[in-house]
Amino acid sequence: MTTEPAAAALPLRAAPELAGVLLIDKPAGMTSHDVVAAVRRILRVRQVGHFGTLDPFATGVLPLSIGKATRFAQFYLKSRKAYCGAIHFGFATDTYDATGVRAAEPVECRPQSAEVERVFAEFTGRIKQTPPPFSAKRVKGVRAYELARRRETVELEPVEVEVYAFELMSLEGAAAQFAVECSGGTYVRSLAHDAGRKLGCPAHLASLRRTAVAEFAEGRAVSLATMERAASEGEAAKLVIPLEALLPDCPALVVRGREEQDVRHGRSFELAQALRADRGLGPDAAGPAITLLKVMNGERRLIAVARRVAGNVYHPDLVLA
């Protein structure tokens, strides 16, 4: 009886690196850091970040960056955001929301819809907004909320933000349901507080839900429980938006061979030589100057994001190894 030689063991293949954006529907009561920590634990991935925090009492879209996607935060932190929520008229709080302490005794206040709509319109466009005392802004190196908790005076400088739309959806008694779209860095709590002051009626933000951040909308957001279940079944990758789908408004440029190596080494290049249909750029690429380009290799995998530095010259700001 002959014995067949044992088959050589096949080398184990490393699991593909998880990279992209995971949209979590953040529940009330958790901080954004809590959610990041939970996803790190569930996915067993250290490199997890976010594209803009949500206050603990708020719910909704929290885009989490996984793996190499953490390097894309620079392109999203100031991006357009959308919210819906409720403002309660009658009393203000020290935090400008429902989690705070009343700033004074409640007063009877029943504004009319026309008044509220007029005030909302005054807060639309580019405005100067003073952040709330309980915020992460720094005052001489100290977080404002730390000073506020110690009952120390917090003096924050107004900053320019942009409110694209601020609409009254309904008004019942002292509660106004609203929808707002604004630039990154806008405090919706301050909008509620300031609107009340403008109306001569103290107010605070009673509830808040974020419905979109840039291209990330709530329709694709999943709960932590859903994500954990998918991870246990080995299906977590299906919930992750791939790197190639990020920055959808940026044209894509395809490079090969020597050009690909130059980009990977961070060398600048001139766009004028690449204005051909087979390079991925559409017919409008020769129009207004393109600020950012997604650079793809021949397999249409994202290898870099390049920024225009002068004329038609671009430099790879972010290079993916």
224 alpha-carbon distance from chain centroid: 17
Region of 319 please: left (phi>0), alpha (psi -120 to 50) or beta: beta
Q: Which residues pair with 63 in a beta bridge?
A: 23
Provide the 8-state DSSP code for 253.
Answer: E
Enclosing H/E stretch for 229: helix 224-232
Which residues participate in catalysis according to the annotation? 55
**Distance (Å, whole) CA 206 – CA 243:** 36
**Distance (Å, whole) CA 219 – CA 316:** 33
Q: Cα dihedral sign for 101, 107, 109, 115?
A: negative
User: DSSP string covering 48-113, please?
Assistant: EEESS---TT-EEEEEEEEGGGGGGGGGTTTS-EEEEEEEEES--BTTSBTTS-BSS--------H
**Distance (Å, whole) CA 81 – CA 72:** 17
SS3 of 72, please?
A: helix
